[in-house]
Amino acid sequence: MYNSSSNSNFIERLRSTGYQSSEFRVALEAVISNLCKIGFHNVQPLELAVLRASEDSDDAIKIMADVRAYFQGM
């Protein structure tokens, strides 16, 4: 579930271990571990920030596709 307020400082949390709660560290380790299980090896925690950016751009891409489809149909 995407919540922009909870993700606003995600990169800072990844960069600074002092800024991470124990719950965040455990969840991060679980994510990295599970990525290995599905074939993504040597993923660094900071590389996970790209997932947030892709969600933001997905909405824009959908809007652009809808607009293009609208004008092509005219």
Structural domain boundaries in the chain: 9-72
What average pLDDT does the structure give for the chain?
81
Read off the pLDDT of each residue in 46-71 and give the average, rounded to a whole number: 81
Mean pLDDT computed over 43-55:
78
CA distances from 66 to 19, 55, 62, 69 (A): 40, 17, 6, 5
Q: What is the pTM of this model?
A: 0.55
The confidence score (pLDDT) of residue 44 equals: 92
> Measured between alpha carbons, how far is 58 from 23 in angstroms, rounded to an integer?
29
Contact status, residue 19 vs residue 13, Cβ threshold 8 Å: yes
**Does position 42 have pLDDT exceeding 70, yes or no?**
yes
- Rounded percentage of the chain residues whose pLDDT exceeds 90: 34
